[in-house]
Amino acid sequence: MLQRGSDWRGWLACTFVSLLLVLPAVALAASGGEEHGGGGGLISVDKSLIVQVVNFLILLFILQRLLYKPLLAKMEERTSTIQKALDEAKAARAEAARQQEENEARLRAAYAEAAAVREQALKEAAEESRKHVEAAQAQSRKMVEDTKAQLETEVRRAREELRREVSDLAIAVAEKLVHKSLHEDDHRRIVAEAIAGMKTS
């Protein structure tokens, strides 16, 4: 259908161009014939003019068949190629825009994930630090308690030992007092001996 319309337009254009070319020649020939009384013009209106017009129309037909149709086909092919290239460029531009949006979305997601990982790492580091501090404090308290308990044990042992020594001393003094009569000088001497025995022990 489109080809028929193109043929019709082509024939119409060829006819119009041929009329534009032929009419001035006819008018010039007619005016020249009138001036010279029917002889020797540039173009004489006779059989040769008709032959020239027919030759011209044949030439137009040949040119239309050999040049105009291939030219139209080439132009249509070129138009379709350009349209195809434009469509491909449009599709490529849309794909590039989609790819850019996708890359930006991935980049935003990567930034968000990195921020989340960093925040989680900071939380874990703070928690680990708090646990270390609590463990150190607990260990310090345990060491203080152990030292205190050890000191209390040492004090208790020292008191018990002191009590034992005092009781041993009292028993020794009592035995010596029982064996001897209690004189003032003897009593002082026994206490002094006991005190000296405590110092040496």
User: Cα–Cα distance between 38 and 32 in angstroms, integer?
Assistant: 8
Q: HEC string of 80-140?
A: HHHHHHHHHHHHHHHHHHHHHHHHHHHHHHHHHHHHHHHHHHHHHHHHHHHHHHHHHHHHH
Q: What is the pLDDT of residues 18-28, one digit of tens each?
A: 666 666 555 55
pLDDT at residue 9, as a whole number: 66
Contact 173, 190 (CB under 8 A): yes
- Separation in Å, CA 22 to CA 108, 112, 129, 134: 75, 81, 106, 114
Contact 5, 13 (CB under 8 A): no
pLDDT at residue 178, as a whole number: 63
User: Cα–Cα distance between 132 and 185 in angstroms, integer?
Assistant: 70
Q: What is the pLDDT of residues 18-73, one digit of tens each?
A: 666 666 555 555 555 454 544 455 555 677 888 888 888 888 888 877 877 778 88
- Supply 110's token pair: 């990567």
pLDDT < 70 regions, the chain: 1-45, 177-184, 186-187, 198-201
pLDDT at residue 20, as a whole number: 63
User: Cα–Cα distance between 97 and 99 in angstroms, integer?
Assistant: 5
pLDDT at residue 199, as a whole number: 64
pLDDT at residue 8, as a whole number: 63
pLDDT at residue 162, as a whole number: 83
User: Cα–Cα distance between 117 and 15 in angstroms, integer?
Assistant: 82
> Where in the chain are the domains?
2-124, 156-200
